[in-house]
Amino acid sequence: VARDRTSPDEFTRPIRRILVAGIVLTLLALFLLWRIDSPRVERFRAALVDRVVPSFDWAMAPITKVAGMVEDFQSYTRIYEQNQELRRELQQMKAWREAALQLEQKNARLLDLNNVRLDPRLTHVTGVVMADSGSPFRQSVLLNVGARDGIRDGWATMDGIGLVGRISGVGQTTSRVILLTDSNSRIPVTVQPSGQKALLSGDNSSAPPLEFLEKQDLVRPGDRVVSSGDGGVFPAGLLVGQVAQGVDGRLRVRLAADYERLEFLRVLRSHESERITEPGALIPPPVLPAVAPDADAAAVVTEEADG
């Protein structure tokens, strides 16, 4: 359709084009700024999320509740089988509990005999999940606790059973948890009976793979995986999950935390571990009594004159 030559579009079009180019360049500049100086932009993002998401809360709560109720209702339909299953599990658990209690007593006795110094007890802050990442390619959730509650970047987050992720991005009243399944998550872990160290690196699948295992032969499917505390970021000994072999033959970890239902999460307060930053200094010899420099120089001159 031929446009009318006298329409105002004819005059505004070049200006428009410049404006479009300007806005595209501005957006790309923002992207580059983020790429270069990520922490500053991420702080801005955390502040924005902190402002926007809590204002959605009034609408989010009822929808989330209704969805939860629908899910619960679906589980009522197979309540009988579940009941049977739970009974069986309870029987097994009772046996395990006895064993665990005995082991705990034994362990305490042995630790006492060896004078082992334990880590100071971890305390935690519990937060409610407000929102998730909203994108299928990023695995993170937003908690309703933030800098106001003393949350800091890097702290470990658990649900009742296992490790869920770490805090990355703290706003005043909200904080973001990068889940272990996110492709940016790398956690040092230990595989339990063999003591092999490895890195658990998320790859956006529900069972993240183990990387940098020294001896793969020592690790078997079913082994327990706990956090190792290497690097000083995470407390050691938090349960992560169990080793399983993926269809591609790689060793993966089936996570212990219930990722289907992340509702309440514990943020563990990690204490700043003391860091040894300096290499050991030289041990100097004891200081000699100082000699007057003039007397020294005079001595040298007389020696030269003699020779």
Partner 1 sequence: MAEGVPSTVWAYRALFAVLALALLFLRLLPLGSAAGAWPGPDLLMCLTFAWVLRRPDYVPFVLIALVVLLEDLMLMRPPGLWAALMVLGAEFLRSRTSLTRELSFVVVWVLVAGVMAAVVMGNRLVLAVTMLDQASLGQTIIQLVATILCYPVVVFLSRLAFGVRKPAAGEIDAYGRRL
List of residues contacting partner 1 (CB under 8 A) = 1, 3-4, 7-8, 19-20, 23-24, 26-31, 34-35, 41, 45, 48-49, 52-53, 56, 59-60, 63-64, 67, 129-142, 176, 179, 181-184, 202-206, 259-263
Using an 8 Å Cβ cutoff, are 235 and 268 in contact? Answer: yes
Using an 8 Å Cβ cutoff, are 154 and 134 in contact? Answer: no
Closer to partner 1 by CB, 243 or 270: give it: 243
Q: Check the CA dihedral 21-26-28-32 and report its sign.
A: positive
Closer to partner 1 by CB, 171 or 235: give it: 171
Closer to partner 1 by CB, 133 or 194: give it: 133
Summary count for the chain: helices (H), strands (E): 4, 12
Closer to partner 1 by CB, 229 or 241: give it: 241
Closer to partner 1 by CB, 48 or 103: give it: 48
Q: How far is the CB of 49 from partner 1 (least distance, A)?
A: 6
- Which amino acid, one-letter code, is at 66? V
Closer to partner 1 by CB, 30 or 93: give it: 30
Closest CA to 197 of 209, 188, 185: 188
Q: How far is the CB of 44 from partner 1 (least distance, A)?
A: 8
Rounded-to-integer distance, Cα 228 and Cα 189, Å: 5
Beta pairing, strands 264-269 & 196-201:
unpaired
Q: How far is the CB of 134 from partner 1 (least distance, A)?
A: 4
Using an 8 Å Cβ cutoff, are 50 and 146 in contact? Answer: yes
SS3 122: coil
Q: How far is the CB of 222 from partner 1 (least distance, A)?
A: 21
Q: How far is the CB of 219 from partner 1 (least distance, A)?
A: 22
Closer to partner 1 by CB, 204 or 245: give it: 204
Residue 126: which H helix or E strand, with range?
Answer: strand 123-132
Rounded-to-integer distance, Cα 70 and Cα 79, Å: 15
Rounded-to-integer distance, Cα 190 and Cα 188, Å: 7
Q: How far is the CB of 204 from partner 1 (least distance, A)?
A: 6
> How many CB atoms within 10 Å of residue 17?
10
Q: How far is the CB of 141 from partner 1 (least distance, A)?
A: 7
